[in-house]
Amino acid sequence: MSPFKLRSAAWFDGDDEVAVLHRVAAGISADDRGRAVIGIADTSSALNPCQAGFAAIIPELERGIRDGGAVPLRFPVMSLGEDLMKPSAMLYRNLVAMELEEQVRAHPLDGVVYLANCDKTVPAALLAAASARLPALLLLGGSRSAPLFAGRRLGSGTDLWRALEDRRAGMLNDGEWQQLEQTLACAGGGSCNTMGTASTMALVTEALAMALPGSTGCQLGSPELAEIAYRTGRIIADAASTGGAGAGADEVMTAAAVNNALRLVAAVGGSTNAVIHLAAVSGRLGRNLDLAEVDRLWAEVPLLADVEPCGSQLAHDFHDAGGLATLAAEMLPAGLLDGAVRLASGQTMAELAKTAVTDQAVIRPVADPVLPAPTLVVVSGSLAPDGAVLKTAAASSHLWQHTGRAVVFDDYADMRTRLDDPELPVTAEDVLVVRNCGPVGVPGMPEWGMAPIPAALAAAGVRDMVRVSDGRMSGTSFGTVVLHVAPEAAVGGPLAVIADGDLICLDVAARRLDLLVETTELELRLASWQPQTNEHLRGWPKLYRDHVSQAPQGCDLDFLTSPTEESRRFVPPVVGRS
Ligand code: FES
């Protein structure tokens, strides 16, 4: 077996003018020569407050890398701020994954730490790590504080959506609404402090052995977060310096680790977005995430974490209750996790479980859960031939079996325009359909799936209705919202031809979502359907729309998945000057 050789040696070894140029450009001193080089992919941005915590912990990360015998080199990467990017940060997830992969590919790096915290920076980094195939870890940037509003701590996202519903129902006046805004502004930076997409993906990242256990919910500014940063530096320095089997991120994210991640998402009532991101990660590794198998994995898992939006506490409480370790201790004896999967700390899941906090309030025993299984389901049927997802833990159980008339909105703008029109014929028993929100349709699959309750119904006390969409919803949202309907309307899925007044049947127990229209009638409608043209698209949105896959395949670009052996060759020819 040939001895392990640093990848960066292709740039830095030798005494010719090119090696000299490379060492000078990278600031590699005589003492640094022969050491592994660790890239720090920095997504900090004033446009993304969720990434605000990195400036404080990068020095600790660099110290850990140095103490581990390696050389840190920081480089900037586009940031994906969930709140400010339009039409959706999801449109740019794959772009950042490509940027990260190519930055790593083109430079003399032996390992990389991706700084990621917000909803899409985390999966973008996981995708990049899967494709770049170098030793890699993510450093998560801490969750934001929870200031008090009306005597209770504000959960990011969730409590804003609740307040919006109260306002639409006339239960929150203008002064209170303004006070809410001021309170939200006091929360500062960091990731959402609920079990939204960011916290869910943080837990997924721990389960995939791509971030240290205990990262999820760790508060921005806490000494513990700085310690995690230091340890991350030590571990990546060691992995990059020694190489060997299992060092590459692609080898770490095994199918068993993905299965664990999916079950953990169910146990915390996590974001439906996680299944899209895990499908994309699996695709990068040449594996297909089968939605029927996902539903089987979810079927036995009850809600164990009492965290918003499905519970009452916050991500900090989840962290203080032991986070992944405590969940593992509860789930392993019930056979709900694979204890042999190795984590970023070097421990197996079973070994981590021995460090659990004996908290029974925020993370509950399997025998006494917050809610019984399932917390998430996959449904399919004539309205969603390729599947759709519903977070049952955030839905009203009386709507799990429901048949209602469709009230169809052609797109998000149509929904915003007509939803509160007093003339809109809608009742609480109807099903609100918002279509053309999918990956191709916008493009970018924004979180437009959760249509608000029409104002007149909200004022009358209606708090939930069945809603169906080919879009996504925020992980902090709630309601009986069937999401990610595939195929989406924009590519001619049945959602495209549903009409006002058609009956839709949701049956969670049977895992069905059906359009109660005669097959011949449905076929006639589909035969006369024409796709909408989108001539104005150019640049990235056009490339995205032309190559993006549907939600069950992870909304990745077709030319980035299922790598061939040839495409796995990673060191570019480092010959001569650039
Ligand atoms: Fe960035 Fe929630 S909006 S983490």
The full DSSP string for 443-460 is: TS--S---PPPPHHHHHT
Q: Bridge-partner residues for 557, per DSSP?
A: 548
Ligand 1 pocket check: which of 85, 90, 192, 219 to mutate, most ligand atoms within 8 Å of Cβ?
192
Q: 137: closest CA among 221, 48, 210?
A: 210
Ligand 1 pocket check: which of 47, 79, 82, 447 to mutate, most ligand atoms within 8 Å of Cβ?
82
Cα–Cα distance between 190 and 187 in angstroms, integer? Answer: 9
Centre of ligand 1 from the C-alpha of residue 305, in Å: 20
Centre of ligand 1 from the C-alpha of residue 51, in Å: 9
How far CA 133 is from CA of 196, 411, 467, in Å, comes to: 28, 39, 40
Which residue is closest in CA terms to ligand 1's atom 3? Answer: 82
Cα–Cα distance between 125 and 263 in angstroms, integer? Answer: 21
Q: Crossing angle, helix 197-207 and helix 323-331, to 10 degrees?
A: 70
Cα–Cα distance between 305 and 434 in angstroms, integer? Answer: 30
* Digitized pLDDT (tens) for each residue of the chain, 578 residues in all: 567 889 999 999 999 999 999 999 999 999 999 999 999 999 999 999 999 989 999 999 999 999 999 999 999 999 999 999 999 999 999 999 999 999 999 999 999 999 999 999 999 999 999 998 889 999 999 999 998 998 889 888 888 888 888 888 888 999 999 999 998 888 889 999 999 999 999 999 999 999 999 999 999 999 999 999 999 999 999 999 987 545 677 789 999 999 999 999 999 999 999 999 999 999 999 999 999 999 999 999 999 999 999 999 999 999 999 999 999 999 999 999 999 999 999 999 999 999 998 778 999 999 999 999 999 999 999 999 999 999 999 999 999 999 999 999 999 999 999 999 999 999 999 999 999 999 999 999 999 999 999 999 998 999 999 999 999 999 888 999 999 999 999 999 999 999 999 999 999 999 999 999 999 999 999 999 999 877 788 999 999 999 999 999 999 999 998 666 666 655 566 666 66
- Helix (H) and strand (E) counts for the chain? 20, 14
CB-count exposure of residue 325 (10 Å: 0-12, 13-18, 19+) = buried
Centre of ligand 1 from the C-alpha of residue 56, in Å: 19
Centre of ligand 1 from the C-alpha of residue 182, in Å: 18
Which residue is closest in CA terms to ligand 1's atom 1? Answer: 118
Centre of ligand 1 from the C-alpha of residue 55, in Å: 17
Ligand 1 pocket check: which of 45, 50, 201 to mutate, most ligand atoms within 8 Å of Cβ?
50
Centre of ligand 1 from the C-alpha of residue 119, in Å: 6
Ligand 1 pocket check: which of 156, 160, 199, 308 to mutate, most ligand atoms within 8 Å of Cβ?
156
Q: Bridge-partner residues for 505, per DSSP?
A: 403, 514
Cα–Cα distance between 52 and 479 in angstroms, integer? Answer: 30
Instruction: Match 């839709």 to its residue by tokens.
Output: 504
Q: Contacts from 178-187 at CB under 8 Å and sequence distance 24+?
A: 179/149, 180/149, 180/154, 183/147, 183/148, 183/149, 183/154, 184/147, 184/154, 184/160, 186/145, 186/147, 187/144, 187/145, 187/146, 187/147, 187/154, 187/156
Radius of gyration of the chain measured on its C-alpha atoms: 24
Cα–Cα distance between 510 and 28 in angstroms, integer? Answer: 62
Instruction: Match 């390696």 to its residue by tokens.
Output: 70
What sign results for the dihedral spanned by CA atoms 367, 371, 377, 381?
Answer: positive
pLDDT computed for residue 575 by the predictor: 62
Which residue is closest in CA terms to ligand 1's atom 2? Answer: 192
Centre of ligand 1 from the C-alpha of residue 113, in Å: 20
Centre of ligand 1 from the C-alpha of residue 413, in Å: 24
Q: List, in sequence order, the alpha helices (H) in 68-222.
A: 90-106, 121-132, 158-168, 174-185, 197-207
CATH code for the domain defined by 377-528: 3.50.30.80
Instruction: Match 């917050």 to its residue by tokens.
Output: 370
CB-count exposure of residue 478 (10 Å: 0-12, 13-18, 19+) = buried
For the CA of 196, the closest atom of ligand 1 is 2
CB-count exposure of residue 467 (10 Å: 0-12, 13-18, 19+) = buried
How far CA 332 is from CA of 261, 322, 335, 368, in Å, comes to: 13, 15, 5, 15
Give the burial string for 191-224 (b: 16+ CB within 10 Å, else e).
bbbbbbbbbbbbbbbbbbbbbbbbbbbbbbbbee
Centre of ligand 1 from the C-alpha of residue 147, in Å: 16
CB 549 within 8 A of CB 416: no
What is the SS3 string spanning 314-348?
CHHHHHHCCHHHHHHHHHCCCCCCCCCCECCCCCE
Centre of ligand 1 from the C-alpha of residue 363, in Å: 23
For the CA of 190, the closest atom of ligand 1 is 4
Residue span(s) of the chain under CATH 3.50.30.80 come to 377-528
How far CA 442 is from CA of 279, 384, 436, 449, in Å, comes to: 21, 19, 7, 13
Residues whose beta carbon lies within 6 Å of some atom of ligand 1? 50, 82-83, 118-119, 156, 191-192, 196, 198
For the CA of 81, the closest atom of ligand 1 is 1
Centre of ligand 1 from the C-alpha of residue 155, in Å: 12
Centre of ligand 1 from the C-alpha of residue 525, in Å: 40
For the CA of 191, the closest atom of ligand 1 is 4
Helix (H, G, I), strand (E, B) or coil at 483: strand
Following DSSP, what letter does each residue of 254-291 receive, concatenated?
-HHHHHHHHHHHHHTT--THHHHHHHHHHHHTT----H
pLDDT computed for residue 571 by the predictor: 56
pLDDT computed for residue 165 by the predictor: 85
Cα–Cα distance between 55 and 239 in angstroms, integer? Answer: 24
For the CA of 48, the closest atom of ligand 1 is 1
For the CA of 198, the closest atom of ligand 1 is 4
How far CA 527 is from CA of 494, 523, 541, in Å, comes to: 11, 6, 28
The secondary element (H helix, E strand) that includes residue 250 is helix 249-252
Centre of ligand 1 from the C-alpha of residue 83, in Å: 7
Pairing of strands 384-390, 481-483: antiparallel
Side-chain half-sphere of 379: how many Cα atoms within 13 Å?
Answer: 35
φ/ψ region of 27 (left if φ > 0, alpha if ψ in -120 to 50, else beta) reads left
For the CA of 82, the closest atom of ligand 1 is 3
Q: Bridge-partner residues for 408, per DSSP?
A: 433
